[in-house]
Structure 1
Amino acid sequence: MRPESPTYNTLVEFLSRVDGLGRKTAWRLAERFRDWERFQREGPELLRGGSSFLPEEASRALAAALKDAPAFIPSPNFISFQDPRYPSRLHELYDPPCGLYFRGDWEIFARARPWVALVGTRRASRYALEICGRLVAEMKGFDPVIVSGLALGVDGMAHRAALSHGLKTVAVLGSSVADIYPARHRDLARRILQEGGLLLSETPPDRAVEPWHFPKRNRLIAALCDAVVVVEAPEKSGALLTADFGLDLGREIYAVPGSIEDGRNRGAHRLIQEGAKLLSEGREIFVDLGLAEPRKAANSAAGVGVVPGVLPPDPPPGPLRGPERKLLEIIAFEPSHIDKITYLSHLPNPQVAGLLMQLCLKGLAEELPGSYFQLRALGRDLLSNPE
């Protein structure tokens, strides 16, 4: 990367804020002039002489903007695409922002740690908020940066949970960093900054928030992170767009299962059907990222009793503990619907769904049509054993 003029950031910021210019044209102009003062001197000459790469609309927009250039005051918290401090992961986007506005500790990017996005619906259920908080608590030992969009619902809970567990959190905004949206989260944004976090946006400070800002925001969330977790999302949710961006970028994509009778879970369930990983425990993310060891299976001593070409038998499940035993006891007498199991267990629905899947995989329970579950013989045998 070539060294830039000290005023290169100013040039890029100015061009990125010219309505009607377009990102690609702004970049071509920035590469042509590479210096703010040179642009002010030679820009009018470029327009007078005509330009093969400036469309007519862009020429008009630039001519109008040049009149205001001498009065332009650059933001001290703008990082351009060519700045060495620009987040390297954003270069993976096919349309990376020309630059980013920020408030807070930019040095968070210099610290080597996993970045995990937790996203979901603004109208989150109580279960979704509970499971979001629990997942963040389970991640604490891995010291991740928790990323979300500062929206109501799941996003806000992700930020609050990170703060309560002493984790750094980054809020990527659809609004500008100077005008927090939604207004109800201004205090939360202030707490993020007080605790050494970061507010990030590509929206200039003088721009009102627009609906189309949020899909652009979602692509940044996905690009910045190692993993994207959809906690709860209906169909057509913006959280699904974040997951789609993450999938295109090769990120790990997870979804939390919920009740099939609650439409707020349909988007997350579709993700699981399409190949997203079902997430029931925060630690699973870091196993997939190579930062934690998988749970050790019984009888895993290498080379003991192994016959070449013959698969060893599945190890018997260990003694039942805690939530697993509770769920098996609920279905011990008759097949039960998942909602009844959730109600009787007093556990979050996503946790119940994940545990039931694990019990089925272990051969202790089986799923029947209609989201009913019943005990299998092996599960009955284990229940008869003392804890």
Structure 2
Amino acid sequence: MHFLDQAKIFVRSGAGGPGAVSFRREKFVEFGGPDGGHGGKGGDIVFEAVPGLNTLIDFRYTQHFRAPRGKGGAGSNRTGAGGDDLVVKVPVGTQILADDDERSLLADLTRVGQRVTFLKGGMGGRGNASYKTSTNRAPRQHQTGEDGEEMWVWLRLKLLADVGLVGLPNAGKSTFLNAVSNAGAKVGDYPFTTLRPQLGVVRHKGREFVLADIPGLIEGAAEGAGVGDRFLGHVERTRLLLHLVDGSGEDPLDGWRVVRGELSGYGAGLADKPEVIALTKADLLDDKTRAKAVRALENETGARVFAISAPLDEGMEPLLDTIIERLAAAAQYEPFEAADDKHWSPL
């Protein structure tokens, strides 16, 4: 399945149905009074977060969503049927943003089943029965019904995970993900093996957490080099960063610094998230080289550095133990919460 994490769509709520102009037509009633009923309300636009979706690819092919209008009123004071609400189903983790320069955040759907009534349908028009007065016994006035609301919005999917895997390309993130979960991420010995975020569930000693493999970052990612700024957006919701540093690289410490610089440059609190550091591909290093790389990273960061080999399961248990411990103390992600009765008018 292709991964698409941004899409622009058009939404329009339904217009209200017109009120009716009608008069009683009964036998033996020469001058029947007005009995035109009101029009029905137009359908709302509702967004709902549903399970089983992990991409916005469907919105590449369907970009316009219009709720049906209300039915017209009828004689005998019958109100027209309301238009059905149009429910737009999106993946959990989808944000709805305004189509403005700031891409203002309007809603954040972070739970399965969460629904947001986004645009209200127009009210139905009044029928002529409601215009009857003592001086106007046969009114022909009626209302056509309110128009629906419409606007363009951006959908942006940001993965929801406990731990975000970060590191330079070819740092071993996909290999690590496959070793500890059932994600089945593509693995290769060349940069940019991962071209879309991957999710896996890790179970360790009776505990479990969701791990997101974020595509490898390059210098300049925070400014949009490649699609690095898009990938960094998926780290925003994670509670803990697992920073994998390629032990077989020319300068592991410099590699760590590059990624940290991108996290700081992106902002959104990424650089302040708790971080666990692991030196990967330790099986490819002799004891002296491994110790030197670990020492350099620990002196720079002041934190314990784990030397691991995911394919050989070396050093993995203490690393996972530490992740479980750190998650217990890490803050939960706090989504943007709109008021329950909030809906948005066109901008």
Is TM-score (shorter-chain normalized) higher than 0.5? no
TM-score w.r.t. the length of structure 2 is 0.31
User: Relative to total residues, which structure has the larger strand share, 1 or 2?
Assistant: 2
Q: Which has the higher helix share?
A: 1
Q: Which has the larger radius of gyration?
A: 2
Question: What's the TM-score, normalizing by structure 1?
Answer: 0.29
